A and B are shown apart, each in its own frame.
Chain A
Amino acid sequence: MIKLHARLEKRLDAEPFVARVARGRGGGRGDLREVQFVDGQDEPSPGYGGYLLAEGLEEGPWAARPDAWPIPEALGHLSDGDVVRISPRSGELWVMYRRGSTSNSMLLTERCNSYCVMCSQPPRDVADDHLVRSYLEAIPLMSRETNELGITGGEPTLLGDRLLEIIRKCRDHLPETSLHMLSNGRMFNYLSLSREVAEIGHPDLMIGVPLYSDLPHRHDFVVQADGAFDQTIRGLMNLARCGVSVEIRVVLHRQTVERLPQLARFIARNLPFADHVALMGLEMMGFVRMNLEPLWIDPADYRPQLTGAVEHLHRRGMNVSIYNHQLCVLDRGLWPFARKSISDWKNEYVDECVACAARDHCGGFFASSSLRRSSRIRPLTPDMIPPESATSPTLSATP
Chain B
Amino acid sequence: MPTALPVLNDRFRPVERFAARPGRDYTLLPMRLISLDAGRHVLTNFAGEYVVLPKETTRRLVRHELDTASDVFEELLSRHFVSVGGSDAALDLLAVKYRTKQSLLAEFTSLFMFVVSLRCDHSCPYCQVSRQSLDRHAYDMKPDVADRAVDFMFRSPSRALKVEFQGGESLLNFPLIRRIVERVESRNLAEGRDVQFVIATNLAPLTDEMLDYCRVHEIVISTSLDGPRELHNQNRPRPGGDSHKLAVRGIRRVREALGHDSVAALMTTTAASLAQPREIVDEYVRQGFSCVFLRPLSPYGFAVKTGLARKYAADEWLEFYRAALGYIIELNLAGTPFREEYSSLILRKMLTPFPTGYVDLQSPAGLGIAGLIFNYDGDVYASDEARMLAETGDRKFRLGNLAVDSFEDVMTSDALIDVLSETMTEGVPMCVDCGFQPYCGSDPVYHHATQGDVVGFKPTSDFCRRNMGVMRHLVRLLEDDERAASVLETWI
Contact = CB atoms under 8 A, between A and B. Distances in A.
Contacts, number: 97
B481 interface: no
Interface string A204-245: 000000000011111011001011011001100100000000
Given A294-B5, A398-B486, A115 B12 contact: yes
Nearest to A218: B15
A336 to B, nearest CB: 17
A398 B332 contact: yes
A218 B9 CA distance: 17
Nearest to B87: A216
A316 B492 contact: yes
Nearest to A399: B486
A221 B15 CA distance: 5
A374 interface: no
A397 B487 contact: yes
B486 A218 contact: no
A255 B2 CA distance: 8
Interface string A296-331: 000000000000000000011000000000000000
Interface residues of A, number: 37
Given A230-B88, A398-B487, A294 B8 contact: yes
B489 A315 contact: yes
Contacts of A159: none
Contact of A227 (B6, B9, B86, B354): B86
B104 to A, nearest CB: 15
A229 B89 contact: yes
A218 B18 CA distance: 7
Contact of B89 (A234, A258, A262, A316): A234
A117 interface: yes
Contact of B18 (A214, A226, A262): A226
B353 A270 contact: yes
Contacts of A262: 75, 78
Interface residues of B, number: 43
Contacts of B332: 397-398
B337 interface: yes
Given A398-B333, A398-B490, A270 B15 contact: no
A217 B20 contact: yes
Nearest to B333: A398
Nearest to A231: B89
B490 A291 contact: no
A339 interface: no
Contacts of A27: none
Given A293-B6, A398-B486, A269 B49 contact: yes
Interface of A: 115, 117, 214-218, 220-221, 224, 226-227, 229-230, 233-234, 237, 254-255, 258, 262, 265-266, 268-270, 272, 287, 290-291, 293-294, 315-316, 397-399
The 7 closest A-B pairs by CB, nearest first: A293-B6, A216-B87, A217-B18, A230-B89, A221-B18, A233-B89, A214-B78
